[in-house]
């Protein structure tokens, strides 16, 4: 069970923050006023960056952020991925931090690729209110923006959460795996 808050609807201040990422914030707010159930594509890089992870691994990262760390900024689920909203510049810095941690050298299911969306990229954000998880793509807010200036994790915090999530998912042993076909003898009863 996650200790993350169950905030699934964007507040008015949160909508203003999201809209401020676009070129025409008032037009975006007008669209949402008319159609609050409409998802919108917003540019990354100035107000926020987005780190996209496969949904299961992203949920592990989110659990780590809330259970052991500082919490998270806004988080959305979209088309089988978790979108972690991060501080601007995270998309540029995080790949080099992941490379330093040798993230890509031992690719397993426990260590999936993270996609970083920053300057020049855009992401689809869910509808302001509710969202339909059964709709194609299942777009919805897990942690909706609720303030005009939400806290956004930087690249070091996202790296920390990813490493902790990967370590929790993988059992590490210093012993080699047992040979299943080996003959085992009880030597405790020797004379």
Amino acid 69: pLDDT: 82
Residues (pLDDT < 50) of the chain are: 1-6
Number of Cβ within a 10 Å radius of residue 142: 24
Amino acid 2: pLDDT: 46
Amino acid 189: pLDDT: 61
Amino acid 135: pLDDT: 54
pTM above 0.75, yes or no: yes
Amino acid 70: pLDDT: 86
């Amino acid at each position: 069970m996650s200790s993350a808050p169950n905030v699934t609807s964007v507040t008015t201040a949160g909508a203003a923050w999201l809209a401020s990422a676009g070129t025409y914030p008032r037009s975006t707010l007008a669209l949402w006023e008319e159609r609050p159930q409409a998802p919108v594509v917003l540019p990354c890089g100035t107000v926020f960056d987005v780190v996209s992870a496969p949904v299961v691994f992203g949920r592990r990262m989110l659990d780590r952020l809330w259970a052991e760390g500082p919490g998270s900024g806004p988080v959305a689920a979209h088309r089988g991925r978790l979108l972690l909203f991060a501080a601007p510049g995270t998309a540029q810095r995080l790949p080099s931090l992941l490379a330093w941690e040798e993230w890509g050298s031992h690719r397993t299911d426990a260590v999936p690729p993270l996609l970083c969306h920053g300057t020049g990229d855009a992401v689809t954000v869910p509808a302001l209110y509710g969202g339909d998880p059964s709709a194609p793509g299942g777009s919805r807010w897990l942690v909706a923006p609720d303030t005009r200036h939400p806290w956004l994790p930087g690249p070091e915090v996202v790296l920390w959460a990813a490493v902790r999530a990967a370590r929790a998912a993988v059992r590490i042993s210093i012993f080699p795996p047992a040979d299943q076909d080996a003959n085992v003898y009880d030597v405790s009863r020797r004379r």
